[in-house]
Amino acid sequence: MKAVIVGASGMIGHQVATIAAREKLYSSIVAPSRRKIGLPETIENPVVDFENLESNAGHSAIWKADHYFCCIGTTIKVAGSQAAFRKVDYDIAVNTARLARQGGASKAFIVSALGADKNSGIFYNRVKGEMEEAIAGIGFQETWIFRPSLLTGPRKDARPGEVIGQIFGSVFSPLFVGGIKKYKPIPGETVARALLCAAFLTRPGVNIVESDQIQELGKAG
């Protein structure tokens, strides 16, 4: 069984790729990226121009997979503008999902964000919600959408807001119970393990997994 992982240079995607390779969950793992990244040698890491996917005709074999993981994501500050952010979090996510579906993938596992809503007045949340809806409509047998809260764990790119959030979360973690449990900060590795756990479940249709549910699924994985 083959998996294709988009966003393996980021915190969650790197964990998904590394864990899947270490635990030999797939016979083949492909992690396309803009440039070569540090991954286990058993993972194929082709360099792809994500903004011109249609011109990458020679890379069509990349997208022939059973499972598609989309862990790509940025921030408006890192991207530089709302338009640039949308190109990453919507265009690349949706376009690669279409290619994976055309390549035979039956299951899709998408990392979105807490608060994603296509009708939101907040640009970030609205784009995430639109991305969810677009991928859900592509036609995978199973579409799993994960909405993690604030992520904790090592990143290559420093995000001051997340550092502050991690400190806040570690101090007040016991208070995140009941209705606010889903807002509790969550380790990137836990999200990665939740994605991989879901990959070996059978739940046809669109499955929305909120952050508190990700916590439980990640522990099981």
* Exposed e or buried b per residue across 158-182, where buried means at least 16 C-beta atoms within 10 angstroms of its C-beta: ebeebeebbeebeeeeeebeeeeeb
Domain residue extents for the chain: 2-220
Q: How far apart are CA 117 and CA 115, in angstroms?
A: 6
Say what the pLDDT of residue 63 is: 94
Q: Hey, how many other C-beta atoms are within 10 angstroms of the C-beta on 82?
A: 12
Angle between helices 123-136 and 93-102 (to 10 degrees): 10
Tokens of 48: 């792809």
Beta strands in 36-181 (DSSP E): 67-70, 107-111, 142-147, 151-152
Is 195 a residue whose pLDDT tops 60? yes
Each residue's pLDDT tens digit, 38-97: 899 999 999 999 988 876 655 688 999 999 999 999 889 998 999 999 999 999 999 999
Is 140 a residue whose pLDDT tops 90? yes
Task: Tell me, yes or no, if the pTM score tops 0.85.
Answer: yes
Tokens of 78: 């890192």
Say what the pLDDT of residue 184 is: 85
Cα–Cα distances in angstroms (integers) from residue 146 to residues 23, 68, 97, 212, 214, in the given order = 22, 14, 15, 10, 7
Each residue's pLDDT tens digit, 155-172: 565 555 554 545 455 555
Does the 2-220 domain belong in CATH 3.40.50.150? Answer: no
Say what percent of the chain tops pLDDT 70.
Answer: 84
Say what the pLDDT of residue 167 is: 47
Instruction: Please state, rounded to an integer, the average pLDDT across all residues of the chain.
Output: 88
Each residue's pLDDT tens digit, 16-35: 999 999 999 999 999 999 99
> Residue 179 — very low, low, confident or very high, per pLDDT cuts 50/70/90?
low
Interval 180-184 mean pLDDT: 71
Say what the pLDDT of residue 158 is: 54
